[in-house]
Amino acid sequence: MNFLELMREDIQAVLDKDPAAHSALEVVLTSPGLHALWMHRLEHRLWKAGFRLLARVIAHWTRMFTGVEIHPGATIGRRVVIDHGMGVVIGETAEVGNDVLIFHGVALGGTGFGRGKRHPTVGNNVLIGTGAKILGPITIGDGARIGANSVVLENIPPDSTAVGAPARVIRRKSPV
């Protein structure tokens, strides 16, 4: 898929997931989360190509203009929507799946200074509520929902809802 097709897909994802978005033009002109994701794609390519300082400098400027900080080393899937992106932080070894909805103030952060995998892996079709903190090399399963202001320190199973500080699973989808 070329970059233009990805951009169209991203715009449609915002229109699908944000009831306040009324047109593609509005989304393109006013969505800082979308701008941050588009810039991240460039930064990530530079990072992988070995231009790490340049990638970090561009990421720094992107954060200043959008309020969203995504480390160039993070892996971000398709159709990710960062709604009201101010204060979102996604760490270097974080992995975010497809069709994820992230609200403002979310952190996908580390818990130590060690090398290697130290940030969360978020599955597909996950919703992360406002102000949630997901910390450490843990996994959020596909279809999970993380409540606002939750602090997640342990793996969350697929198709479940977690809330609180520390977060606990309060609901799991029943097997069919």
Q: Of the listed 35, 40, 44, 104, which one is catalytic? A: 104
Whole-angstrom distance, CA of residue 170 vs CA of residue 165: 13
User: What are the Cα distances from residue 151, in Å, to 73, 85, 92?
Assistant: 23, 18, 19
Count of residues in the chain: 176
Whole-angstrom distance, CA of residue 173 vs CA of residue 176: 9
- SS3 of residue 10 by DSSP: helix
CB 147 within 8 A of CB 164: yes
- SS3 of residue 85 by DSSP: coil
CA neighbor of 6 nearest in space, from 64, 77, 73: 77
State both tokens at 168: 């606990």
What is the greatest pairwise CA distance in the chain?
Answer: 50
- The reply to whether 119 belongs to the active site is no
Give the active site residues: 104
